[in-house]
């Protein structure tokens, strides 16, 4: 694939150029289902209790190190999404992007790997890029970005019960004092 096929579009939010950490990615449909094929060719279907029903289909909760704030990105409709290590997107990083952390992208590897997903959702995806994880979403509607709360910083001598930065952030948030209750 040549770099000339890849294109970017700006996605302007209060956090577009921040240093971000993905905290949680969750479906909010209220219903969860699991199905498996049985040896006899029939299927076993399980209806599971999900989170409260919401008008949104996908919620991504993030922390901005730049602003010391928790916020979420909410999508009304989602054709497909993926969460991956930033190494899986090496074809994007040397290119000039309009924003550091939040932007739209098309013509890259996923558009060629999953053409049916993009056929239903357009030729570009919404990207949230961090130093550790990236979330890429195919959606035909503009997402809602909602500020949740500031977080007080605590200076410690070693990571809190964690071996890697992602675990350290999770442990930090379990102990952090939020100035506003998160929903």
Give the pLDDT confidence of 144-170 residue by residue, as tens digits.
999 999 988 888 887 665 555 555 555
Distance, CA of 92 to CA of 7 (rounded, Å): 9
Q: Is there a domain that residue 134 lies in?
A: yes
CA angle 76, 98, 1 (to 5 degrees): 90
Q: What percent of the chain has pLDDT over 70?
A: 75
Domains in the chain, number: 1
Distances (CA, A) of 35 to 43, 45, 49, 80, 144: 7, 4, 14, 19, 31
Q: Is there a domain that residue 90 lies in?
A: yes
Distance, CA of 90 to CA of 104 (rounded, Å): 16
Strand partners, 129: 134
Q: Is there a domain that residue 136 lies in?
A: yes
pLDDT tens digits, 106-115: 888 777 777 7
Domain boundaries, position 85: 3-34+45-175
Q: Is there a domain that residue 182 lies in?
A: no
Query: What's the whole-model pTM score?
Result: 0.72
* pLDDT given for residue 68 in this prediction: 93
SS3 of the chain: the string is: CCHHHCEEEECCCCCCCCCEEEEEEEECCCEEEEEEECCCCCEEEEEEECCCCCCCCEEEEEEECCCCEEEEEEECCCCEEEEEEHHHHCCCCCCCCCCCCEEEEECCHHHHHCHHHHHHHCCEEEEEECCCEEEEEECCCCCEEEEEEEECCCCCCCCCCCCCHHHHHHHHHHHCCECCCCC
Q: Is there a domain that residue 68 lies in?
A: yes
CA angle 174, 34, 85 (to 5 degrees): 50
Q: Is there a domain that residue 127 lies in?
A: yes
54 or 62, greater pLDDT: 62
Q: Is there a domain that residue 40 lies in?
A: no
Q: Is there a domain that residue 160 lies in?
A: yes
* pLDDT given for residue 69 in this prediction: 93
């Amino acid at each position: 694939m040549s770099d000339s096929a890849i294109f970017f579009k700006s996605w302007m939010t209060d956090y577009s150029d921040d240093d971000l950490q993905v905290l949680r990615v969750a479906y909010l449909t209220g219903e969860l289902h699991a199905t498996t094929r049985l040896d006899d060719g029939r299927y076993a279907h399980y209806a599971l209790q999900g989170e409260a029903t919401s008008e949104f289909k996908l919620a991504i909760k993030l922390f901005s190190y730049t602003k010391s704030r928790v916020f979420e990105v909410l999508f009304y409709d989602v054709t497909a999404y993926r969460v991956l290590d930033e190494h899986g997107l090496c074809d994007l990083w040397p290119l000039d992007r309009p924003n550091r952390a939040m932007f739209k992208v098309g013509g890259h590897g996923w558009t060629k790997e999953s053409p049916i997903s993009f056929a239903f959702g357009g030729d570009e995806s919404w990207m949230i890029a961090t130093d550790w994880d990236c979330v890429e979403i195919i959606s035909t509607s503009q997402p809602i970005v909602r500020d949740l709360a500031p977080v007080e910083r605590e200076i410690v001598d070693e990571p809190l019960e964690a071996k890697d930065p992602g675990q350290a952030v999770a442990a930090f948030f379990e102990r952090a004092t939020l100035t506003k209750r998160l929903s």
